[in-house]
Amino acid sequence: MLLLTEDDVRRVLTMDMALETVEAALRKLALDEAVNIPRTRCRTDHCGLHVLSAAAKTLGYLGYKAYVDSRRGVQFHVALYDGRSGGLLALMQADYLGQVRTGAASGIATEYMSRHDSSEVGIFGSGKQARTQLQAVCAVRKILRAQVYSPNEENRRRFAMEMSEVCKTDVVPVPRPEMAAEDKDIVITATTSREPVLNGHWLAEGTHINAVGSNYLGKAEIDAVAVRRADSIVVDSKEQARIEAGDFVQPLEDGSIHWADIHELGQVIVGRYTGRAHDADVTLFKSLGIGIEDVAVAAKVYEKAVGAGLGKKIEW
């Protein structure tokens, strides 16, 4: 078995690799060539365990990502198994892997759902997930400027300085939340907020939204107006969205949207549904983060790490 640290993962995992791998995994899911199990959770008084598992025969692997949250923070790992023998191939730390795969899913949604001439981005949040979100969007669209809002002035200033260099584009901190939404081609919400940070009235026609921060029914990053305005609503897993997409709770309850109106990103990739019908449409990708994305990316990391001689081998 191979043990891979966060440093090992960072040495081989790139956004381009993740974009290609996650798109292929979602395609397999849409074609019934993969199995994805929605996140399960259990808790004690002190911490919670969250597990996402998946398998794909044509990928040659199966596995799971697990993470534990406590007052000390969150710890992530992926266990990867051989798809034929069932042998445990690798355990890898997966904090960075999760950030990149989540960004990649939004990048793929942006490629299929945003206008091709999209060049202005607004982003809510300045943490780790926000960084890979912007990185992925810049990988699939020619972004000329991004404006970032978060409540902490120093955090948004630091984010803008760092990401301007990473993305080779103009990233600007803004002091008011509406400035990260008005007249934007793409809007990203990547926060830990339990209440909506994005007001749907701020959105221009033709905007594409990537909403990634909420994965509990009791949390919503975007308000009901933003959801109602969406002409196309796409998720990574409809089954998981039913138990985690807090952004949909109010519009579902008031009947302004229905589950029949919501499609999966894999189905858009294989051409069964369209991500955008008209330039003026508002489109929404609600990301939950699913196991097949983790397992597929972990498999690619494992193969690259073996080729590069990384990690520590132990007898199992």
With DSSP H G I counted as helix, E B as strand and the rest as coil, what are the percentages for the chain, rounded to 5? 40, 25, 35
Half-sphere exposure of residue 216, counting CA atoms within 13 Å on the CB side?
8
Q: Which amino acid is at 150?
A: S
Is-contact 133 188, C-beta < 8 A? yes
Instruction: Find residue 49's DSSP bridge partners.
Output: 42, 68
Question: CA–CA separation, 265 vs 106, rounded Å?
Answer: 10
- Following DSSP, what letter does each residue of 152-171 receive, concatenated? -HHHHHHHHHHHHHHHTSEE
Beta-strand pair 186-189/120-124: parallel
Please name the residue that has the structure tokens 């999966």: 264
Instruction: Find residue 84's DSSP bridge partners.
Output: none
Beta-strand pair 73-82/88-93: antiparallel
Can you give the three-state secondary structure of 106-138, one letter per residue?
A: HHHHHHHHCCCCCCEEEEECCCHHHHHHHHHHH
Question: CA–CA separation, 255 vs 278, rounded Å?
Answer: 24
- Altogether, the residues listed in the chain come to a count of 316
**Residues with catalytic function:** 65
